C-alpha cells in the first residue's frame, strides 16, 4: 500500500507540511504532477490524515504539564464525562484505559494554582480518585519511524 517513495513523502511532510509539490518532487525525484497524485492518494486512503500547525503552549504561558490518572464514580457515564471534558480547555487529551484506571488525562496549566482548579473541576465532573504527576521532560518519537 505504501512504497518507499510514499514513505519519503510522508517523512518530508511530517517535517514540513508546507512544502510545495515541486519541492517534494525534487526530494523523491518525480514530477510535481506525479508527486501531487501520490499525496492525494495518501490523503484519500487516510494514511495522510491532515496537516496541522504545531503550537508551543509554553510560549503562551502554559508551562506546567501533568499526567493525571482518573477513576470515575460508578454512577458516572463515561461518555458524559468525556463530553464534559470539552469544557475544560486545559485538558489536552483523555485516554480511556483498561486496568485500574478509567482515564489518563494530559493537562496543561500556567501554574499549580490553575492545575488545582482543574483538579477541583474534575471532582465536580464525577471522579472518585485523581492522581497527578508533573511532567519534568518529554521525548517525542516521530511516527515516521513506523513507516
DSSP state of 117: H
**Up-side HSE of residue 122: CA atoms within 13 Å toward CB?**
26
- Comparing C-alpha atoms, which of 63, 70, 99 is closest to residue 84? 70
What is the C-alpha separation between 92 and 70, in angstroms, rounded?
15
What does the pLDDT look like over 8-62, one tens digit per residue? 999 999 989 999 999 999 999 999 999 999 999 999 999 999 988 889 999 999 9
- Is pTM beyond 0.85? Reply is no
CATH domain 4-44 topology: Arc Repressor Mutant, subunit A (1.10.10)
Nine-digit cell string for 107 = 493537562
Q: Where are the domains of the chain?
A: 4-44, 64-134
CATH number of the 64-134 domain: 3.30.70.920
The CA R_g of the chain, rounded to the nearest whole Å, is: 20
What does the pLDDT look like over 54-106, one tens digit per residue? 899 999 999 999 999 999 999 999 999 999 999 999 999 999 999 999 999 99
Amino acid at each position: 500500500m505504501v512504497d518507499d517513495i510514499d514513505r519519503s513523502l510522508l517523512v518530508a511532510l511530517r517535517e514540513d507540511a508546507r512544502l510545495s509539490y515541486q519541492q517534494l518532487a525534487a526530494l523523491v525525484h518525480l514530477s510535481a504532477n506525479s508527486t501531487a497524485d501520490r499525496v492525494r492518494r495518501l490523503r484519500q486512503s487516510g494514511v495522510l490524515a491532515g496537516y496541522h500547525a504545531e503550537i508551543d503552549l509554553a510560549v503562551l504561558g502554559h508551562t506546567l504539564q501533568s499526567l493525571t490518572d482518573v477513576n470515575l464514580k460508578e454512577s458516572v457515564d463515561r461518555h458524559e464525562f468525556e463530553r464534559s471534558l470539552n469544557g475544560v480547555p486545559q485538558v489536552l487529551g483523555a485516554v480511556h484505559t483498561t486496568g485500574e484506571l478509567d482515564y489518563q488525562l494530559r493537562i496543561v496549566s500556567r501554574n499549580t494554582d490553575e492545575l488545582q482548579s482543574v483538579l477541583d473541576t474534575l471532582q465536580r465532573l464525577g471522579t472518585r480518585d485523581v492522581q497527578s504527576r508533573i511532567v519534568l521532560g518529554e521525548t517525542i518519537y516521530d511516527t515516521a519511524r513506523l513507516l
